[in-house]
């Protein structure tokens, strides 16, 4: 299995960090994604985030569903 790159780990960390900050579960994120017309089931969502391999569009969809308005890179 290929190793996760630093960028994949950062992308994964952004989603997981925001979920933790808001105390949002994967099932709740699925509901939030559905509210913006993005269809994911909990299992696929969990796998995508865990692997850290997803498109930039998916990252933006998750951030929008979580209500993030600002993202800073450090």
74, part of any domain? no
- Return all residues near 58 (Cβ < 8 A) that are at least 6 apart: 48
Domain range enclosing 35: 6-65
63, pLDDT greater than 60: yes
26, part of any domain? yes
pTM over 0.75: yes
Q: How confident is the model at residue 4 (pLDDT cuts 50, 70, 90)?
A: low
- Give the chain's domain count: 1
- 56: its two tokens: 């930039």
37, part of any domain? yes
71, part of any domain? no
């Amino acid at each position: 299995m290929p190793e996760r790159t630093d960028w994949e780990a950062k992308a994964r960390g952004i989603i997981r960090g925001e979920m933790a900050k808001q105390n949002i579960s994967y099932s709740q994120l699925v509901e939030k994604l559905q509210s913006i017309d993005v269809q994911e089931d909990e299992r696929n969502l969990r796998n995508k985030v865990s692997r850290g391999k997803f498109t930039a569009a998916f990252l933006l969809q998750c951030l929008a569903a979580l209500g993030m308005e600002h993202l800073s890179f450090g």
